[in-house]
Amino acid sequence: MSINRDHEPEYASLDSPCVADTNVYGNPIDLIASSTVEVGTSMYINADPSVGETPNRNKQHGFHFTADNCIGCHACEAACSEKNDLPPHLSFRSVGYVEGGSYPDLKRMNISMACNHCDDPVCLKGCPTNAYTKHAEYGAVLQDPETCFGCGYCTWVCPYNAPQLDPLEGHVQKCNMCVDRLEVGLKPACVSACVGNALDFGVIESIPENRHQAKTSIPGFPDPEISKPNIRFQQSSENPKEFKRTDSEHIKYRQSEQSDVYEPVVDLKSSEEKHWNLGKLSSRENPLVIFTLVTQAVIGAFVIAFFGGLSGMENMGMIASSAVASPILLLLAALQAFVLVLSTLHLGKPLRFYRGFNNLRYSPLSREALAVSIFFGFLPVLAVLHAMQFGFLNILEAGAIQANFLPWASDSMLKLSATVLISLAVLIGLLGLYYMHMIYRIKARPFWDHWQVLSSFFGTMFSLGAVLLGLLVLPLIWFSSVSLTSLIVELLPFVAIGLAIEALGHFFHARDLKEGGKEGAASLMLLQTQFGKTYVLRNGVILLSLLAALLILMFSQQLFNTSGLLYAFAGGLAMACLFSSIVSRALFYVLVIPTTMPGAFFWKNKGFEEHARETGLAKMPQVGVVELSH
Amino acid sequence: MLFGRKKRNPIKIADKKVVDWKYTTCGYCSTGCSLDIGLNEEGRPVATRGTADAKVNRGKLCVKGIFEHELFDSAGRGAEPLSRLAADEEFQAVSWDAAMDSMAAKIQGIQNEYGRDSFAVVSTGQIMTEEFYTLGKLTRGLIGTNNYDGNTTLCMASAVSGYKRSFGSDGPPGCYDDFEHTECLLAFGSNLPEQHPIIFWRLKEALEKRKFPVIVVDPRVTMFAQFADIHLPVTPGTDLVLLNSLAHVILDEGLDDRAYIQTHTNGYEKFAELVGKYDPLTASKICGIDAEMIRKVARIFAKAGAAMSIWTMGINQSTHGSDGVVAINNLSLITGNIGKRGGTSLSITGQCNAMGTREWSSCSGLPGYRQLENPEHRREIGKYWGVDEDFFPKQRGMTMTDIFPAIEAGEVKGLWLVATNPMTSMPDSARIRKCLEKLDFLVVQDAYRDVETNQYAHMYLPAALWAEKEGCFTNTERRVNLVRKVCEPHLNSKPDHWIFSNLAKRFEHSKRMKFPETTAEIFDEMRELSVGTMVDISGLSHDLLEQEKGIQWPCSASQVIKAAETEDRYLDRIGSSRLYTNGQFQYADGRAKLHALPFVDNNEVPCEEFPFWLNSGRVVEHFHTRTKTGKIGNMNKYSPTPYMEVNPEAAQEQGIKQSDYVRLVSRRGDAVVMAQLTHRVAKNALFIPFHFHDCVNRLTLGLLDPYSRQPAYKQNSVRIETIDQKLAAKINLEMRDY
């Protein structure tokens, strides 16, 4: 389809000059030097080999938004959706607003936002499938839905709501800068459609005619340091000290006392009353709750049993070098396989799961996926090795395989390889957990961007790992020489350590969130109000469990005599651990408030989307809200 | 690439595979934007773009226009004519012939039993001018009822009435180009950015080149009010007081154009005497704008070399809407700001062809701004149509807003609604429902079968949509634009003019009349009839209109011929940007009239029981009763469900939180809406978009303007009650279920 036509109005033609060598972030505006392509390379848009003749084609381009002028008329959003043939529930560009002042001195500031084709594209770096490319042509950050497997991670890291996860199609799409229009010398569709003369486009740092500012931020816009976005603003009319959001997010923006920058602060919106809201703990991310907890428990159980065994722990040694070792490894493998499948099904396109390792260079998600997969791969191998060495329950005798199939393999060889493999598995398992935590260290998600994620993941590894191990050994105890009582006593310290680390993490997390203000403080406020009662219970359970674990350890000698009581305590403790872990992890996902663009009253308002799904409005396609998958 | 995959898939960008672009004109509001509809290989409309060299929109479109191609396949379209004996029975599909036969028989049956005027026709501002003309010919020439009106009574009647009272005729004197020349813009009750985004853009473009003061009078802090240099948050329903006071200051300080008043107006003495009573201090106590501000605004307006006023429903939809229009015209007249570049009094019209119905439908008279009251006009049209001149009534009959009470009183027994939806659009829905229930015979002719009024219809006629046929629209600045046919009508729906012509054949007398097949032929009739009238379109043709992207009337044949002979690029010169450039008005003596307009406060003002002002208006993503826009997800999603704007302080006092549902109660009924807390509205005021079915008009009173019979939608009082949130959500969902 030809885009060019006769009599194209002047406002649509792209002819901005390049006015500087570097942008405000100090990066070169010319992109050729830092790229591997040559000047005049075709972009092969829809397989078209032609090359655009646009001047400054290899310069970083960006949007210029005159916030003073935006009337919130939706023409930009509509032109974009019309051009890109988008269904109502998606939009590459959205207009939200903030409001300040009081009648009649009201100021509503509309903000039209799409992809900012950042200097530091966090989407590209986060994407495990490598679906993103930053091009030397216009500096466009383009995403390929055919590569994407729909994990939605880019939607977590992007502060501007640019990537759009389509729950119906199961993949992400986003603004393509209208590179097809740029190639024929036209501004993007949204810019050409703007009715308020607010939106413009050109080489970054060039200021459009009749405008005089090129600011990097306006109230409501996330900290540009997160990704160094290529958008500049003019906003010269007087502002109120405080801007409120109309959407359901508990955030407003206040002018900081030191500068004229507006910072997000907590907006209470509802009462400070404490609620349970247990039903709201369940979310779209439930599979991730299970995946992270189980993976951490499996790695924990493995580390405790086998590394413990190697390092001379009595009961662990008995388990690790007995006929129950192999079945335990197989059970761990089965459990890990189950949650890997679960997390794969969480993807929009599960069959593309293998693409998860495509971006080891940048993506913590790729690295985690690889590490956990390798760890998982070690488990069956180790199960075979242990079956050879120690037999398999009473089904297979130690040495039987060796004698029949591998007469050349000596016992010491087997032992050495097991030791090496266990050490490697422990290492890669711990590395997996580290990268699992790195997935959540997202600047645009202050609630997550804290070392508490690490403490929580490792805490769970110890506490749930010990619980899992105990549960696995329980039915097999008849096959080993381990006594249940001594097993409990040996596992208890791990539970206690795990709980202590977890508790410590929660304490410092809450303190730092409160001090840090912004979206993190808002998440904390929600935790303490909307989930206030659940929060108190969760904290109580962790503290009581820790106390109980310590008490049992202290009085274990006395309890030995009444093993029934010990088992009851241990069982109760295991349940408490499981409860607090699940609640904590569910809260972890539902409470996060992203640093992102303000929405409108209906559109891009999470509160309305939830309401529409609850009441059935979402069943009408024209409402623009679709059911979430999973 | 800087970084990312080395071996990547080719870049894919949506390609709608348009093979042909067809020129047409937008069918929503009166701005009159030209657009191209893209057709794919199968001939289906798949894309829309603003026509690059369009005179009005210069390539731009608003959100509604951008998705206009999606209308053709939208949900709820009618497929076959439907008929039933009573509204509580199921509809049966019938053939067009059977439908037309039965409709004509029913009309004649009712008229035989209860008299000619017992069957009423209410049309619209949505169909083509040629269709209006044909409907007029059918109604005035064959059916012969005098109860014939358009839904323009709900939106533009006050402007029409005001223009007639001031200038002796309807017809907006200015144009969009006036923004390029004016030195002061005064806007009353007009929210351009939301209601007419492309006209706002034209203003914005003018302001980019040259700064001039923009003054907005509106009780609500609209986007326009926010961008204005001066915003006057006037007390609802008191704009006439403000206008009289502005005139007071202008006369008092000698800022008026005395020569213009003396040469071109009548009625100065009485006018001066009346405004003399509205000194700024007295006025400020009523209209809520302080005296100093009134003086300041009057001075800015009067001292500007050229000053223009625009207005929309904030003026028209009130009990003194016509007076408000006249008062705006008074201001323009006393400062000599009529018919000059940048000096005008421009009504920003509502529907795409509200002007077309005013000019040619014969609703309020006879075609081409002719009047029933004028025997010469009756004779002329009777002769041209082949109708006995005595068959025409000698005076205009009832307006739409009087037809419904006449149903109530049993005077009107049958009603034909053409592309209008009074169940949602008229004030006091409960009363309208009762009227519709009472009818012996209701015909609903609409492109959408699910139009709410169809609930009470005995017969439903599926009409073709806007660009499924060809014809003209006239826009706010008198520009006649061409709508080209883009695709065939949906299933068995038919163009409205086809329906009119075919119904006409069922009337005995039609044999002596002509009902041409094509709209181009109908246009020829109108051209002939327009010669020598104010609305001269004799120089126009469908092809010329497409070539020129619209031409402003008057445009006589001789003007076009002369232009063709003298100029190379002649066509930019034809048509008329402005009316009354020579100071000659349509009153017999050629003078405009200044009116003395005393203010009578008959508004339903808030009281203890109903403490809030209720205001209603439009949002950009919807049009009228959402029959069209409610179907298109990419627009509807911006406001899928009704809401009210309420001041946060008032909300707090009432215990209402953001996004809570509330129940509003007025003396007429109740409505459930979602609360949006915003300082856009005053503490004692609420605003609700009027588009939603079973919503704001369940509450409105709609007192009528004595001249225009237009309802006062914007000045009613209500109270807020809390409601069980789950029940409210259920009610709300049911009301959205079309």
Q: Is A179 part of any domain? A: yes
Q: Name the one residue in this structure whose structure tokens are 């002061």.
A: B184
Which residues of chain A register pLDDT less than 70? 1-2, 559-561, 629-630
Portions of chain B given CATH number 2.20.25.90: 20-71
Query: CA end-to-end span of chain B, whole Å?
Result: 50
What is the pTM for the complete model shown? 0.95
Among A119, A135, A367, which Cα is nearest to A226's?
A: A119
- Whether A566 and A630 share a structural domain: no
| pLDDT in the model for residue A112 | 98
Q: How many CA atoms lie within 13 A of A398 on its CB side?
A: 12
Kindly report the CATH number that applies to the domain delimited by B173-347: 3.40.228.10
Neighboring chain B residues of A130 at a CB cutoff of 8 Å? 4-5
Rounded to an integer, what is the distance from CA A208 to the centroid of its chain?
A: 37
Residue B552 has pLDDT above 60, yes or no: yes
- Whether A376 and A456 share a structural domain: yes
- Whether A479 and A575 share a structural domain: yes
Q: Which residues make beta-bridge pairs with B22?
A: B37
Residue B144 has pLDDT above 60, yes or no: yes
Picking from B8, B13, B647 by the largest number of A CB atoms within 10 A of its own CB, the best residue to mutate is B13
Cis peptide before A188 (omega within 30 of 0): no
Summarize pLDDT for B342-391 with one digit per residue, the tens.
Answer: 999 999 998 999 999 999 999 999 999 999 999 999 999 999 999 999 99
- Whether A17 and A89 share a structural domain: yes
| pLDDT in the model for residue B259 | 97
Neighboring chain A residues of B193 at a CB cutoff of 8 Å? 71-73, 195-196
Cis peptide before A104 (omega within 30 of 0): yes
Q: Is A249 part of any domain? A: no
CB A302 within 8 A of CB A295: no
Question: Residue B22: what residue type?
Answer: K
- Whether A230 and A286 share a structural domain: no
Q: What is the mean pLDDT of residues B43-71?
A: 96
Portions of chain B given CATH number 3.40.50.740: 82-154+353-516
Distance in angstroms (rounded) separating the CA atoms of residues A444 and A148: 21
**Structure token digits, residue B207:** 């302001």
Chain B 46-75, residues with CB within 8 Å of chain A CB atoms: 47-48, 52-53, 58-63, 66-67
| A219 phi, psi to nearest 5 deg | -55, 135
Distance in angstroms (rounded) separating the CA atoms of residues B482 and B520: 11
- Whether A611 and A582 share a structural domain: no
Q: Is A5 part of any domain? A: no
Q: Name the one residue in this structure whose structure tokens are 């293998």.
A: A354
CB B682 within 8 A of CB B231: no
Kindly report the CATH number that applies to the domain delimited by B20-71: 2.20.25.90
Summarize pLDDT for B167-208 with one digit per residue, the tens.
Answer: 999 999 999 999 999 999 999 999 999 999 999 999 999 999
Out of A41-50, B43-52, B109-118, B250-259, pick the least confident: A41-50
Domain that holds residue A484: 278-590
Q: Is A305 part of any domain? A: yes
Distance in angstroms (rounded) separating the CA atoms of residues A165 and A162: 10
Q: What is the 3-state secondary structure (H, E, C) of B430-470?
A: HHHHHHHHHCCEEEEEECECCCHHHHHCCEEEEECCHHHCC
Question: pLDDT confidence of B640, banded at 50, 70, 90?
Answer: very high
Distance in angstroms (rounded) separating the CA atoms of residues B276 and B270: 10
Beta strand B92-93 with B82-83: parallel, antiparallel or unpaired? antiparallel
CB contact under 8 Å between B679 and A180, yes or no, is no
CB A385 within 8 A of CB A417: yes
Q: Where are the alpha helices (DSSP H) in B265-290?
A: 268-275, 280-287
- For chain A, say whether B626 makes contact (Cβ under 8 Å): no
CB B119 within 8 A of CB B143: yes
| Region for A496 from its dihedrals, namely left if φ exceeds 0, alpha if ψ lies in -120 to 50, beta otherwise | alpha
Neighboring chain A residues of B732 at a CB cutoff of 8 Å? 615, 617
Helix (H) or strand (E) holding A395: none
- For chain A, say whether B532 makes contact (Cβ under 8 Å): no
Neighboring chain B residues of A69 at a CB cutoff of 8 Å? 204, 227
- Whether A118 and A142 share a structural domain: yes
**Structure token digits, residue A284:** 């779209």
Neighboring chain B residues of A617 at a CB cutoff of 8 Å? 640-641, 732-733, 736
Neighbours of A209 (CB within 10 A): 7
- Give the torsion through C-alpha atoms of A66, A69, A73, A78, to 10 deg: -30
Beta strand A251-255 with B471-474: parallel, antiparallel or unpaired? unpaired
Question: pLDDT confidence of B151, banded at 50, 70, 90?
Answer: very high
Distance in angstroms (rounded) separating the CA atoms of residues B722 and B654: 8
| pLDDT in the model for residue A630 | 47
**Structure token digits, residue B126:** 């949505």
Domain with residue A446: its CATH number is 1.20.1630.10
Q: How far is A1 from chain B (nearest CA, A)?
A: 6
3 state DSSP class of B10: coil
Neighboring chain A residues of B11 at a CB cutoff of 8 Å? 43-46, 142, 144, 176, 179
Residue B2 has pLDDT above 70, yes or no: no
Query: CA end-to-end span of chain A, whole Å?
Result: 38
- Whether A342 and A465 share a structural domain: yes
Distance in angstroms (rounded) separating the CA atoms of residues B241 and B286: 7
CB B316 within 8 A of CB B152: no
Neighboring chain B residues of A96 at a CB cutoff of 8 Å? none
- Give the torsion through C-alpha atoms of B53, B58, B63, B68, to 10 deg: -20
CB contact under 8 Å between B639 and A602, yes or no, is yes
Total domains in the fold of chain A: 3
| pLDDT in the model for residue B571 | 54
Beta strand B670-677 with B45-50: parallel, antiparallel or unpaired? unpaired
Distance in angstroms (rounded) separating the CA atoms of residues B353 and B473: 5
Distance in angstroms (rounded) separating the CA atoms of residues A233 and A68: 9
Q: Name the one residue in this structure whose structure tokens are 């042509």.
A: A137
Partner-chain residue, chosen from B197, B636, B682, that has the shortest CB–CB distance to A73? B197
Question: pLDDT confidence of B324, banded at 50, 70, 90?
Answer: very high
Q: How far is A2 from chain B (nearest CA, A)?
A: 9
CB contact under 8 Å between A620 and B640, yes or no, is yes
Measured between CA atoms, the residue of chain B closest to residue A38 is B1
- For chain A, say whether B5 makes contact (Cβ under 8 Å): yes
Strands (E), A169-277: 171-173, 199-203, 231-234, 242-245, 251-255, 262-266
- Whether A514 and A574 share a structural domain: yes
Measured between CA atoms, the residue of chain B closest to residue A129 is B5
Distance in angstroms (rounded) separating the CA atoms of residues B728 and B726: 5
Q: How many CA atoms lie within 13 A of A266 on its CB side?
A: 19
Q: How far is A81 from chain B (nearest CA, A)?
A: 8
Buried b (16+ CB within 10 A) or exposed e, B32-51: bbbbbbbbeeeeebbbbbbb
Summarize pLDDT for B713-728 with one digit per residue, the tens.
Answer: 999 999 999 999 999 9
CB A154 within 8 A of CB A126: yes
**What's chain A's length in residues?**
630
Q: Is A232 part of any domain? A: yes
Kindly report the CATH number that applies to the domain delimited by B612-735: 2.40.40.20
Neighbours of B723 (CB within 10 A): 17
Residue B281 has pLDDT above 80, yes or no: yes
| pLDDT in the model for residue B613 | 97
Neighboring chain A residues of B44 at a CB cutoff of 8 Å? none
Measured CA to CA in angstroms, residue B426 lies from B120, B154, B666, B693 at distances of 16, 8, 16, 11
- For chain A, say whether B9 makes contact (Cβ under 8 Å): yes
**Structure token digits, residue A409:** 């393999």
CB B172 within 8 A of CB B477: yes
| B147 phi, psi to nearest 5 deg | -95, 80
- Whether A153 and A300 share a structural domain: no
Return the CATH fold of B82-154+353-516: Rossmann fold (3.40.50)
| pLDDT in the model for residue A406 | 79
- Whether A325 and A352 share a structural domain: yes
Mean pLDDT estimate for chain B: 95
Q: Is A87 part of any domain? A: yes
Q: Which residues make beta-bridge pairs with B480?
A: B474, B551
Burial degree of A303 (CB within 10 A; 0-12, 13-18, 19+): buried
CB B529 within 8 A of CB B117: no
Residue B567 has pLDDT above 80, yes or no: no
Buried b (16+ CB within 10 A) or exposed e, B685-697: bbbbbbbbbbbbb
